[in-house]
Amino acid sequence: MDIESLRSHLVYVFALWGAVTGILVILLIYRGQLQNHEEDQIFLDKAGDSMAADQRVLVARIEKLSKPIVTLIVISIALALGMGVIWLWAQSAASNS
């Protein structure tokens, strides 16, 4: 594989990493906003039942975001490591030329 091919692969991996990390940041901001609206209250009377139901829905949304966030973190790290490997390989190929 020639140096230019390695560098073009690096650009593609960098673009993919940027997209994945961008989505990850958006999900983290969204989860943070949901957590800001979460209240640490116990509703004991009938009037608070609807508010308690709203809180359960909110907590369910927050929990539902956990798996995609962890998956995107793993993918982002793997792509960053891949970029490092490709960059080192390109540097090695350049020094051998």
Residue type (1 letter), 38: E
Look at the chain and report how many structural domains it folds into: 1
Provide the pLDDT for residue 15.
Answer: 95
89 in Cβ contact with 6 (< 8 Å): yes
State the number of CA atoms in the 13 A half-sphere of 91 facing the CB: 6
Taking only the tens place, the pLDDT of each residue in 21-50 is: 999 999 999 999 988 877 666 656 676 677
Better pLDDT: 40 or 53: 53
The mean of the pLDDT values for the chain is: 86
At 44 the three-state DSSP class reads coil
Range of the domain at 49: 3-96
